[in-house]
Structure 1
Amino acid sequence: MRGLFFILLILSSSVKVLYSQSYGSRHQFGANIGIQFGFRTETKEMLKLFGNCGYGYELNGMFPNVHFGAAFNLKTLSTRQERRKDGNGYKANHSIEYIFGGAMAFRFGPWSSRSTWSKDYYVGQPYYFYANLNQSPLMHPFHSSLSLGTQKIFIRDDKRSMVQRVGFFDLKIFRTQIYYQNDGAVPFDLLGETLIEKNQDRFYTSSLLVSQHFNNRNLGNLNTLSLSFNKFTGEYKRAYQVANRLRNNSVDYKDPAQYSYNLSFIGFGAKFNDIAEISLRKYNANDRVDPQNLIHYGKDFPYHINSTMEHWGVDVQRTIGVLSNKVKK
């Protein structure tokens, strides 16, 4: 039933997109589906199937928007990295996740200039809401802006259900974007629990994405270069809070299975118009280059022990999407 609901939601979003393209307005509708597949030297194959839809309305200087996404994950973030009982390779663990969120973009910079978004879904500058974990269904309408948002994430695998709320911001200056997401720390905790569940550190704990976009509109041209960091961890009741109170170096889980969720990567990606995005990733990098661990060391916070040794991975992500484009000036 959930799968059928999601398919109907994507179809209805696509109809709205076509309607908006025909009649033109300040409304922006977007929808997409995609696949990501790759290979990791430690755990071998990985796969992600996803779909998203979103809606935004352009006001004078602001762009409120909402989004919904769903994904199937195999041997990647939000799945357990567990060896088979015979020691030969890793189990094909998978998870399903749903994301509901909303954000507000505040425009600044040249008011006479717009962003490079158009009806061509592959040309515009994406309105990031989930770092580069999947492709956004919406595009930035402004030359430069600062966005604040929050999202509720529901994850389910064969062992447990995981629910969290994270905050994110996105700074866009012309064709450069800096995106940051966290589940319970600065700067989002300055707003209390408006955007996050304060003082938490679990599941999607942090994401950082720096991207540079290019105004290349031809098929096969380089569209985006990106550098990213993403981290996912397990959780057992209040293990992080207890470790922090006791000033422990690491987070200890009473349930050993929680360690197998701990996975992070530092990645470099290149996206090409209407073809695909190719990424090279370093998984569970040494603590000296893991951004979150460096911050935790500096502030004397406990860190999460990696589930595997450090290793490399490469993946390809292909997305098909539709986007409304006609905006009344």
Structure 2
Amino acid sequence: MEKDARIYVAGHKGLVGSAIVRNLQDRGFHHLVCRTHDELDLTDYQKVGEFFQSENIDYVFLAAAKVGGILANSQYPAEFIKENLMIEINVIDWSYKTGVRKLLFLGSTCIYPRMAEQPIRESELLNGTLEPTNEAYALAKITGIKMCESYNKQYGTNYISVMPTNLYGPNDNYNQVTSHVLPALVRKFYDAKRSGDPYVTVWGTGRPKREFLHSDDLADACIYLMDHYDGPDIVNIGVGKELTIRELAERIKKIIGYTGEIRFDTSKPDGTPRKMIDVSKLNDLGWKATISLDQGLERTYREFLLNLNEIVDR
């Protein structure tokens, strides 16, 4: 991408989008185009069209999405499938209609079958049954992938799709109802320490295994692929290492300095038993993650404390 290119980062206030903006700014890109939800509702086809027609966008990072953890996905499946489909259709279609040169679509590893062979290769897409607790979100993301593929095939566009593993980092969502597991645990242990609670309850058995990637590493990978990858197939983005939810809880407990007990509520769902992705394709393309989980957790907790007033008010 040229330094004077007009780059639209959809979802620039979120975990992924804000990391992409930071990385682009650090690299010297100075024509970043960003809009808040209040300024541009991406579910409104007409408004999205007016935006693209007026801004002359060269490149798009489609990081905008309605996201959440097991609880949010289970309670609001209609919103998850509807809003994500509308965002994808509007942004991808108007990117084509206005001649955007390249688009990167952010998917999710939840697109893969619940019982996919581990580590999960890109070829596992549509090779089995999805995890029921986030099926609506996964189906929306799969549609976005296939929409990019279809536009490439029919119209000759250059739209690539990447599948990041579980993410964390600055501007994460720490709301106990809608957040993913890592920020939810940070918030739980912090609140328990502050309140002097004797124990923290964690959903499920603690046995499922997960892989975690810092959002700054994801942003770096996305920009690398935007510059170096034009292939037709999806690309996994992750670290290739995993740990159990119990181990994650213990690490967060230690970093926060909580001295109470961890209890697991086995009446609550575990979600997918294991979800580590194969990152050999990404590594072969020349990119590897550099932020270890311990480093990332330390940074995350420092940032959490620095932004505590804003987080608690959400």
**Same-fold call, TM cutoff 0.5:** no
Q: Which has the higher strand share?
A: 1
TM-score (norm 2): 0.29
